[in-house]
């Protein structure tokens, strides 16, 4: 068995499934929710929470960067060497279903920010929370909650709120929680 390095893998990255939705993560790619939202807002001690989702989206869409190909190759090599870590851990994937859902929910909420008309992070959080609450209590969620993905006729905000709801157990967050998700991404601190 021959080992393939990043150079050999890079040319083959999009050959098998370019553009085909596979699961919720790739469904987010197909509906535009996983679109590039700019550089991720990270924690001081590691990769940004949504950086893994951006990595997955690029690979799933068949457009990995050279760094993505290197990350895949290094994780596969570490897994083959059998150092005891799972492939998910070596790739930096969320460890639990709850962590995965939180990342998807937050990414969907971030994609919805430009779709609500408000100035500043707090008023945007209030407007987004109100739209999400309407979506769940009186809106389309009641009809769509059993669907695997939003219907084709859904508008962009409806698609974002569908994925946020799907990955938040059909519930919504408080205004303060929405604010915490969106404040650093779209409204960086002023110096």
Any domain includes 116: yes
**The whole model's pTM is what?**
0.63
Residues 46, 120, 158: CA angle, nearest 5 degrees: 80
Kindly state whether residues 83 and 122 are assigned to the same domain.
no
Any domain includes 71: yes
Kindly state whether residues 55 and 112 are assigned to the same domain.
no
Kindly state whether residues 117 and 75 are assigned to the same domain.
no
Any domain includes 173: yes
Kindly state whether residues 10 and 85 are assigned to the same domain.
yes
Which residue segment(s) compose the domain that 19 sits in?
6-91
Helix 121-137 × helix 156-166 angle, to 10°: 80
Mean pLDDT for 17-24 is 39
Kindly state whether residues 60 and 115 are assigned to the same domain.
no
Q: How confident is the model at residue 167 (pLDDT cuts 50, 70, 90)?
A: very high
User: pLDDT averaged over the chain?
Assistant: 76
Tally of domains within the chain: 2
Kindly state whether residues 71 and 21 are assigned to the same domain.
yes
Position 118 scores a pLDDT of 84
Return the closest-CA partner of residue 94 out of 141, 60, 127, 51: 51
Position 27 scores a pLDDT of 46
Any domain includes 191: no
Position 86 scores a pLDDT of 85
% of the chain beyond a pLDDT of 70 = 70
Query: In this predicted model, which residue has the larger pLDDT, 76 or 18?
Result: 76
Kindly state whether residues 171 and 101 are assigned to the same domain.
yes
Kindly state whether residues 125 and 77 are assigned to the same domain.
no
Q: How confident is the model at residue 189 (pLDDT cuts 50, 70, 90)?
A: low
Which tens digits make up the pLDDT trace of 93-144?
Answer: 888 888 889 888 998 999 999 999 788 899 999 999 999 999 999 889 999 9
Any domain includes 145: yes
With a cut of 60, say whether residue 16 has pLDDT above it. Answer: no
Query: In this predicted model, which residue has the larger pLDDT, 15 or 82?
Result: 82
Q: How confident is the model at residue 179 (pLDDT cuts 50, 70, 90)?
A: very high
Kindly state whether residues 53 and 119 are assigned to the same domain.
no
Distance (Å, rounded) from C-alpha 132 to C-alpha 153? 18
Residue that is last in its domain, among 30, 63, 91? 91
Any domain includes 133: yes
Kindly state whether residues 20 and 84 are assigned to the same domain.
yes
Any domain includes 1: no
Residue that is last in its domain, among 67, 91, 115? 91
Kindly state whether residues 117 and 171 are assigned to the same domain.
yes
Residue that is last in its domain, among 68, 91, 114? 91
Query: In this predicted model, which residue has the larger pLDDT, 21 or 53?
Result: 53
């Amino acid at each position: 068995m021959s080992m393939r390095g990043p150079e050999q893998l890079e040319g083959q990255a999009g050959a098998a499934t370019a553009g085909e939705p596979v699961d919720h993560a790739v469904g987010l790619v197909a509906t535009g929710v996983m679109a590039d939202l700019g550089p991720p807002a990270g924690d001081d001690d590691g990769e940004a929470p949504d950086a893994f989702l951006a990595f997955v989206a690029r690979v799933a869409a068949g457009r990995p960067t050279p760094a993505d190909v290197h990350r895949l190759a290094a994780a596969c090599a570490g897994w083959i060497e059998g150092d005891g870590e799972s492939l998910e851990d070596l790739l930096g994937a969320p460890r639990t279903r709850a962590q995965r859902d939180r990342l998807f929910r937050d990414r969907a909420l971030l994609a919805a920010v430009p779709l609500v008309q408000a100035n500043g992070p707090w008023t945007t959080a209030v407007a987004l929370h109100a739209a999400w609450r309407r979506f769940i209590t009186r809106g389309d969620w009641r009809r769509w909650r059993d669907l695997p993905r939003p219907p084709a006729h859904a508008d962009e905000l409806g698609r974002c709120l569908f994925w946020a709801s799907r990955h938040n157990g059909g519930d919504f967050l408080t205004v303060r929680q929405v604010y915490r998700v969106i404040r650093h991404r779209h409204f960086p601190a002023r110096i």
